[in-house]
């Protein structure tokens, strides 16, 4: 195919109109809580255009209609994967992991089994950071990490657990040698060792829907996802997360996020860390 023909195919997709943006915006908000405010038209157009062209649609309207009419849900999942932001890193927001290591892990040391939940795990760096910390601090314990995300694409990457060398630069050398297997000579990537991978269960979860289990955790990480929700959705999500915290359990949110504008029964511990009071304690209210 010539470059000129390629450009003609590209131009065959009509630009995103205000009406089409509004339809996609409402669909994203209704199905997974993403709050696409005015000004995000260019971002939506850029992220979805490949799917529009790849599906042979001439307009975003045709693409939108296809999503709505697709009974399998695959088209909607593809749109979610394209619009969801999956930026993360190992040991991201290190204050959280210092607090987790110093304050929480000693409280869990007398348990035979320790379970934590990474509620918006993205491409998995948070999950494997937690796995390294847990195995380092609590050797011999049964460790289980529930790792969930709305993006099929992110979950596939996270469960593969193989990361390019440049994404592993912030990992301690001791962790790389103990918990990862180098691939290539010199190493081009690092794969999480099988023993740690066996401790993690990945599952697709939409946080704006009712959660499919009654389980409670001593620790829940749900970081840097609520910044994409409006206040009403944040409140609904936080209340659901609180329901899945043990009495005395901890919720971590992103440092760019705050729960001061939403109603919840959690107590403030330090920036971006909240705790579910035990039954003997008075709930924190704003």
Q: Which amino acids are annotated catalytic?
A: 47, 149
Q: Tokens 């704003």 identify what position?
A: 286
With vertex at residue 108, the alpha carbon angle to CA 103 and CA 111, rounded to the nearest 5 degrees, is 170
Task: Kindly tell me the burial class for residue 110, based on how many C-beta atoms sit within 10 Å of its own C-beta (0-12, 13-18, 19 or more).
Answer: exposed
Cβ–Cβ < 8 Å for 226, 241: no
Q: Enumerate residues 6+ apart whose C-beta is below 8 A from 10.
A: 53
153: number of Cβ within 10 Å:
16
Beta strands per DSSP E along the chain: 113-118, 142-149, 162-164, 180-183, 189-192, 200-204, 217-221, 245-252, 267-270, 273-275
Q: How many CA atoms lie within 13 A of 74 on its CB side?
A: 3
Among 130, 161, 124, smallest CA distance to 144 is for 130
């Amino acid at each position: 195919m010539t470059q000129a023909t390629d450009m003609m195919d590209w131009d065959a997709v009509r630009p995103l109109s205000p009406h089409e943006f509004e339809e996609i915006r409402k669909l994203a908000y209704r199905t997974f809580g993403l709050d696409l405010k005015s000004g995000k038209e260019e971002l939506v157009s850029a992220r979805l255009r490949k799917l529009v062209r790849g599906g042979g649609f001439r307009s975003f309207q045709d693409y939108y209609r296809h999503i709505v009419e697709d009974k399998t849900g695959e088209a909607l999942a593809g749109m979610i994967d394209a619009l969801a932001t999956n930026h993360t890193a190992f040991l991201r927001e290190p204050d959280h992991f210092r607090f987790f290591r110093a304050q929480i892990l000693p409280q869990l040391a007398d348990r035979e089994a320790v379970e934590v939940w990474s509620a918006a795990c993205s491409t998995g760096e948070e999950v494997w950071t937690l796995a390294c910390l847990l195995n380092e601090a609590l050797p011999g314990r049964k460790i289980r990490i529930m790792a969930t995300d709305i993006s099929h694409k992110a979950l596939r990457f996270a469960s593969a657990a193989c990361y390019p060398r440049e994404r592993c630069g912030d990992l301690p050398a001791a962790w790389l040698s103990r918990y990862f297997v180098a691939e290539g000579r010199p190493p081009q990537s690092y794969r999480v060792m099988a023993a740690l991978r066996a401790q993690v269960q990945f599952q697709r979860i939409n946080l704006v829907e009712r959660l499919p289990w009654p389980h409670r955790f001593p620790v829940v990480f749900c970081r840097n996802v609520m910044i994409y929700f409006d206040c009403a959705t944040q409140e609904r999500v936080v209340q659901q997360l609180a329901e899945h915290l043990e009495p005395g359990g901890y919720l971590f949110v992103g440092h760019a996020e705050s729960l001061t504008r939403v109603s919840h029964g959690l107590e403030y511990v330090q920036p971006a860390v909240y705790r579910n009071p035990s039954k003997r304690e008075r709930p924190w209210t704003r």
